[in-house]
Structure 1
Amino acid sequence: MCTQLFDPKVDYVFKNIFGSEKHPRILISFLNACIKPKEPIVEVKLKNTEITKEYIEDSFSRLDILAKTSTGELINIEMQRADERNMVKRSLYYWSKAYISEYTGKGAYANLPRTICINVLDFILLEEEKFHNKYLIQNTSNNNLLTDTLELHFIEIPKMKDIDESDLLSIWVGFLEDPNNEKVISLERKVEELQEAKEELARISRDPKEAENYRMRENARNDRLNALLSAEEKGERKAKLEIARLSLKNGLSIEIVSQITGLSLEEIKNL
């Protein structure tokens, strides 16, 4: 009987595959595919490998990956499945936290490392055609680069329509979208790290303890989404009530105010 594979886009699973000290080649392959550095990354050291039960059950915890390359760059990777309408500022915030984490004091600003944030998104965020976009600090008049210290990547999974076999990042995104995709399966024979990731995903999916962690993480995510939805609904209702008050103040009838706001006649009478 075949094991149903977990969704690798669940942050708990994503971190176990790409942020595992046992499988550094997977992360190195993904980073080289995304960043495309002039000199390939050959070694990484993970800085936050612990995944406690408290982190799994906390709906507002981040199961990100923070790594440092052998040449000193800091790289933060986050898998985000829901659009909470704060992704750009959130990425800048976590970039800043990673960046200053290396500050040793005494004005040693020159030693602060190049810091890269990679945001893997299961939703569309940007008004860009490509599924992978990189942002730097550049002069707006001539595009001269001010510094390579800040680098933000956004990978929008839904924008990739088909796997490009010549692009390793496209292959990795295909794996995240559907590890059982026929093209992904065929490429496992050519890309050793992809096969290693698939085997690790299968191992996690067979493990009863991992299955419980997976379930808890999904429950935590649902709790977070419900909390955000409830907050939005409260905000919308507050706005409707304010519009109703102003409309009544300006002489509109209760019936018209009800049509405008969607509030019941009883709700408007009670204002």
Structure 2
Amino acid sequence: MGKLKDRYIRFDWAIKRLLRDKANFAVLEGLLTVLFEDKTQIVEILESEGNQLAETDKFNRVDIKAKNSKGEIILVEVQNTREVYYLERILYGVAKTITEHISLGESYGNIKKVYSISIVYFDLGKGNDYLYHGQNRFIGVHTSDELQISTKQENAILPKYPREIFPEYYIIRVNEFDKVAKTPLEEWVNYLKTGEIEPDTKVPGLSEAREKLKYYSMAPAERYAYDEHLNAIMIQNDVLSTAKLEGLTEGRSKGLAEGRAEGRAEGLAEGRAEGLAEGRAEGILSTARNLKAMGLSIEDISRATGLSKEDIVKL
């Protein structure tokens, strides 16, 4: 059986316009539950400049805060446009969240672990996978063991790994996904990229998306705005691809020119070095011939020039 012919709204648009409604939270909660394999609930939409609904705000990020079953904080960010200092900014966002969730004078032991999830629709850098995960672990430089910290918990001193406290980062590179979706996570990433949902899906969040995110359920004005959004994304990607292609072409041309110039320079330098070496060798031979003509012994000429006795005899 093929995919349902109904058309669904792409996630990057839906999360900005439709999933901000509490009635639709189940869609995003499904993605987080699949990613963490843990029941996750959205706490709030973080009101930032990235959540504005202005027409000029086609590419800005969207921030959402959620919590898992342990009460740990999960930050979700959807980003459409390239940002040079992207990693620095998500680090800042995590640090800001940690400080906001501990009151002045409160024990550091109350700090909650934070997970940062970035769903990016642009070329973040080099890498072959569509999902990357990073966390803080302290490994012995010489022993390769992982550091354990003693920490007080419920009136007892217990060992704890720093990775249980320090933030973790997930980056989903949507455009890099090119597989046939077989797992729940792959079905989700396929939807993030294409807007396609399997007709018989049982994946958390996607079944809700099939009911709530149908393209033809939107009002005509909203549908027009959505089509303009997709068109703008396509134009942006075309501009970036063209710039990259032009950069590669220019880089190759410049590289060839620099390579030729460098080759000439290296040739000249090598020629000078060889010429100097040959000149010195010829000078030593000439000196040895003169000394031999003056009647000096082979041993004395060898000591004076550094030539072997065999070479001096051949002169």
1:218-233 matches, cutoff 5 A: none
- What's 2:211 paired with? 199
- How many residues are paired up? 217
- What's 1:162 paired with? 179
- What's 1:117 paired with? 116
Q: Say yes or no: does 1:93 pair with 2:92.
A: yes
CA distance in 1, matches of 2:102, 2:214: 40
Whether the 8 Å contact between 1:80 and 1:119 is mirrored in structure 2 is yes
Change (3 A) 1:95 1:56: same
CA distance in 2, matches of 1:49, 1:208: 28
Whether the 8 Å contact between 1:82 and 1:123 is mirrored in structure 2 is yes
Give secondary structure in 2 for the equivalent of 1:147: helix
- What's 1:56 paired with? 53
Q: Gaps (5+ residues) in structure 1? A: 230-271
For 2:32, the aligned partner's letter is: L
Whether the 8 Å contact between 2:29 and 2:41 is mirrored in structure 1 is yes
- What's 1:44 paired with? 41
1:176-191 matches, cutoff 5 A: 176-180=192-196, 184-188=197-201, 190-191=202-203
For 2:86, the aligned partner's letter is: M
- What's 2:289 paired with? none
Q: Give, in angstroms, the shift of residue 163 of structure 1.
A: 3.2
- What's 2:10 paired with? 7
Give secondary structure in 1 for the equivalent of 2:207: helix
Q: Say yes or no: does 1:136 pair with 2:135.
A: yes
Answer with 1 or 2: which has the greater Rg: 2
Change (3 A) 1:52 1:84: closer
- What's 1:246 paired with? none
Q: Give, in angstroms, the shift of residue 86 of structure 1.
A: 1.8
Give percent identity, aligned residues only: 22
CA distance in 1, matches of 2:221, 2:21: 17
Change (3 A) 1:17 1:169: farther
Whether the 8 Å contact between 2:138 and 2:162 is mirrored in structure 1 is yes
Whether the 8 Å contact between 1:17 and 1:26 is mirrored in structure 2 is no
The C-alpha deviation readout for 1:95-150, integer Å capped at 9, x for no partner, is 11222221111042111111111001112324433211111101244373523330
Give secondary structure in 1 for the equivalent of 2:195: coil
Change (3 A) 1:130 1:215: closer
Q: Give, in angstroms, the shift of residue 213 of structure 1.
A: 6.1
Whether the 8 Å contact between 1:63 and 1:78 is mirrored in structure 2 is yes
Change (3 A) 1:125 1:61: closer
Q: Gaps (5+ residues) in structure 2? A: 147-160, 241-315
CA distance in 2, matches of 1:118, 1:13: 17
Give secondary structure in 2 for the equivalent of 1:129: coil
Whether the 8 Å contact between 1:179 and 1:185 is mirrored in structure 2 is no
- What's 2:168 paired with? 151
- What's 2:65 paired with? 66
Give secondary structure in 2 for the equivalent of 1:26: helix
Give secondary structure in 1 for the equivalent of 2:88: helix
For 1:26, the aligned partner's letter is: V
The C-alpha deviation readout for 1:155-192, integer Å capped at 9, x for no partner, is 11122111331x22211110111123xxx32443x336
Whether the 8 Å contact between 1:48 and 1:65 is mirrored in structure 2 is yes
CA distance in 2, matches of 1:133, 1:81: 18
For 2:218, the aligned partner's letter is: R
The C-alpha deviation readout for 1:181-239, integer Å capped at 9, x for no partner, is xxx32443x336312113222168522464476479789989xx8xxx9xxxxxxxxxx
Give secondary structure in 1 for the equivalent of 2:188: helix
Whether the 8 Å contact between 2:120 and 2:171 is mirrored in structure 1 is yes
- What's 2:107 paired with? 108
TM-score w.r.t. length of structure 2: 0.56
**Which region of structure 1 is more displaced relative to structure 2, 116-125 or 210-219?**
210-219
Change (3 A) 1:51 1:139: closer
